[in-house]
Amino acid sequence: MGRVPLVLLTTVGARTRRERTSVLGGFEEPDGAWLVVGSKGGSATHPAWFINLAKSPDNVWLEVGNRKFKVRPELLKGDQYEAAYRRVVEDSRQYAGYRKVTDREIPLVRLRAG
Protein backbone atom coordinates (compact mmCIF):
# COMPACT_ATOMS: atom_id res chain seq x y z
CA MET A 1 0.00 0.00 0.00
CA GLY A 2 2.47 2.59 -1.12
CA ARG A 3 4.80 3.33 1.75
CA VAL A 4 2.41 1.87 4.33
CA PRO A 5 3.38 -1.65 5.41
CA LEU A 6 0.78 -4.36 5.24
CA VAL A 7 0.07 -6.23 8.47
CA LEU A 8 -2.09 -9.23 9.28
CA LEU A 9 -4.62 -8.76 12.06
CA THR A 10 -6.14 -11.92 13.51
CA THR A 11 -9.32 -11.71 15.56
CA VAL A 12 -11.88 -14.23 16.77
CA GLY A 13 -15.22 -14.13 14.96
CA ALA A 14 -17.97 -12.52 17.02
CA ARG A 15 -20.48 -15.21 16.04
CA THR A 16 -18.39 -18.13 14.81
CA ARG A 17 -15.61 -17.92 17.43
CA ARG A 18 -13.21 -18.95 14.63
CA GLU A 19 -9.99 -17.09 13.95
CA ARG A 20 -10.24 -14.56 11.13
CA THR A 21 -7.26 -12.81 9.55
CA SER A 22 -7.46 -9.47 7.74
CA VAL A 23 -4.81 -7.73 5.66
CA LEU A 24 -4.57 -4.07 6.69
CA GLY A 25 -2.32 -1.08 6.30
CA GLY A 26 -0.38 -0.67 9.52
CA PHE A 27 1.20 2.47 10.89
CA GLU A 28 4.06 1.88 13.30
CA GLU A 29 4.43 4.34 16.16
CA PRO A 30 7.78 5.37 17.65
CA ASP A 31 7.15 3.27 20.79
CA GLY A 32 6.59 0.08 18.77
CA ALA A 33 2.77 0.12 18.91
CA TRP A 34 0.81 -0.10 15.65
CA LEU A 35 -2.23 1.81 14.41
CA VAL A 36 -4.89 0.26 12.19
CA VAL A 37 -7.83 2.10 10.65
CA GLY A 38 -11.36 0.71 10.41
CA SER A 39 -12.12 2.68 7.26
CA LYS A 40 -13.65 -0.03 5.06
CA GLY A 41 -13.15 2.43 2.22
CA GLY A 42 -15.49 4.94 3.83
CA SER A 43 -18.37 2.46 3.95
CA ALA A 44 -21.38 3.17 6.18
CA THR A 45 -20.60 0.09 8.30
CA HIS A 46 -17.62 -0.99 10.37
CA PRO A 47 -15.36 -3.72 9.01
CA ALA A 48 -15.90 -7.22 10.41
CA TRP A 49 -12.46 -7.28 12.01
CA PHE A 50 -13.39 -4.24 14.12
CA ILE A 51 -16.64 -5.86 15.33
CA ASN A 52 -14.68 -9.02 16.19
CA LEU A 53 -12.02 -7.02 18.03
CA ALA A 54 -14.67 -5.13 20.02
CA LYS A 55 -16.45 -8.37 21.02
CA SER A 56 -13.27 -10.26 21.92
CA PRO A 57 -10.42 -7.80 22.70
CA ASP A 58 -8.41 -10.46 24.55
CA ASN A 59 -8.04 -12.55 21.39
CA VAL A 60 -6.18 -10.31 18.94
CA TRP A 61 -2.85 -10.95 17.20
CA LEU A 62 -0.77 -8.87 14.83
CA GLU A 63 1.66 -10.22 12.27
CA VAL A 64 4.35 -7.92 10.93
CA GLY A 65 6.83 -9.53 8.58
CA ASN A 66 7.69 -12.90 10.12
CA ARG A 67 6.70 -11.91 13.68
CA LYS A 68 3.28 -12.75 15.11
CA PHE A 69 2.40 -11.49 18.58
CA LYS A 70 -0.61 -11.01 20.82
CA VAL A 71 -1.75 -7.38 21.10
CA ARG A 72 -3.99 -5.31 23.34
CA PRO A 73 -6.29 -3.02 21.33
CA GLU A 74 -7.08 0.53 22.41
CA LEU A 75 -9.77 2.51 20.60
CA LEU A 76 -8.52 6.09 20.25
CA LYS A 77 -10.81 9.01 21.06
CA GLY A 78 -10.64 12.80 21.24
CA ASP A 79 -7.30 14.54 20.84
CA GLN A 80 -5.41 11.24 20.62
CA TYR A 81 -7.67 10.18 17.75
CA GLU A 82 -7.26 13.45 15.85
CA ALA A 83 -3.46 13.51 16.22
CA ALA A 84 -3.13 9.89 15.16
CA TYR A 85 -5.48 10.32 12.20
CA ARG A 86 -3.43 13.30 10.98
CA ARG A 87 -0.34 11.12 11.11
CA VAL A 88 -2.09 8.32 9.20
CA VAL A 89 -3.14 10.80 6.48
CA GLU A 90 0.43 12.11 6.22
CA ASP A 91 1.61 8.57 5.43
CA SER A 92 -1.34 7.62 3.21
CA ARG A 93 -3.47 10.41 1.71
CA GLN A 94 -6.29 8.03 0.75
CA TYR A 95 -7.48 7.95 4.37
CA ALA A 96 -8.29 11.69 4.26
CA GLY A 97 -11.24 11.13 1.93
CA TYR A 98 -12.84 8.30 3.87
CA ARG A 99 -14.07 10.58 6.63
CA LYS A 100 -15.85 12.73 4.04
CA VAL A 101 -17.94 9.92 2.54
CA THR A 102 -19.40 8.37 5.70
CA ASP A 103 -21.39 9.59 8.67
CA ARG A 104 -19.76 7.15 11.09
CA GLU A 105 -16.60 7.87 13.01
CA ILE A 106 -13.91 5.74 11.43
CA PRO A 107 -12.30 3.68 14.21
CA LEU A 108 -8.61 4.12 14.83
CA VAL A 109 -7.12 1.36 16.98
CA ARG A 110 -3.73 1.31 18.67
CA LEU A 111 -2.30 -2.18 19.10
CA ARG A 112 0.32 -2.80 21.78
CA ALA A 113 2.21 -6.03 22.31
CA GLY A 114 1.11 -7.90 25.37
Q: What letter does residue 56 receive in the DSSP assignment?
A: -
Q: CA 85, 97, 14 angle in degrees (round to 5)?
A: 65
Could you tell me the end-to-end alpha-carbon distance of the chain, in angstroms, rounded to an integer? 27
Q: What is the pLDDT of residue 2?
A: 56
C-alpha distance from residue 2 to each of 5, 9, 25, 56, 63 (Å): 8, 19, 10, 31, 19
In tens, the pLDDT along 44-64 reads 899 999 999 999 999 999 999
C-alpha distance from residue 61 to each of 47, 67, 79, 93, 103 (Å): 17, 10, 26, 26, 29
pLDDT of 7 above 90: yes
